[in-house]
Amino acid sequence: MEPEEREISPFMVAFVMTMVEIRLHELLTGSNTTIELKGTTWVEPYRRHMDSLFEMLRSKPVLYHKLMHKLFTEVGGSQYASASLHDEVLADLDLEIMEVSD
């Protein structure tokens, strides 16, 4: 990793992924209430997202680094940010290996 190729924290990414999951849950169930992040309701989804990120780091470290660096630059508004996240990172994702449930 080059010094200028900083990565976003996987904890931040997992948190955002969990927030998206909460919102999708609200849309699917029709509930639109304020969710307090207390207790254990959303701990398992958060852990699942952390596990998937660490699995990506273990099995595809280069892809993981590209994704986390690109998120860092795109979200952080770095001078290195490009117009499209898709060009360099999403094009490398192998969508065929993703599990899909019916």
Task: For residue range 53-89, list pLDDT tens digits in order.
Answer: 999 999 999 999 999 998 888 887 655 555 455 455 5
pTM, to two decimals: 0.67
What is the Cβ-side half-sphere exposure of residue 71, based on CA atoms within 13 angstroms? 16
C-alpha to C-alpha distance for 19 and 34, rounded to whole angstroms? 12
pLDDT at 50 > cutoff 90: yes
Rounded to whole angstroms, what are the CA distances from 84 to 2, 10, 51, 70, 73? 21, 21, 27, 10, 11
pLDDT at 34 > cutoff 80: no
Contact 14, 45 (CB under 8 A): no
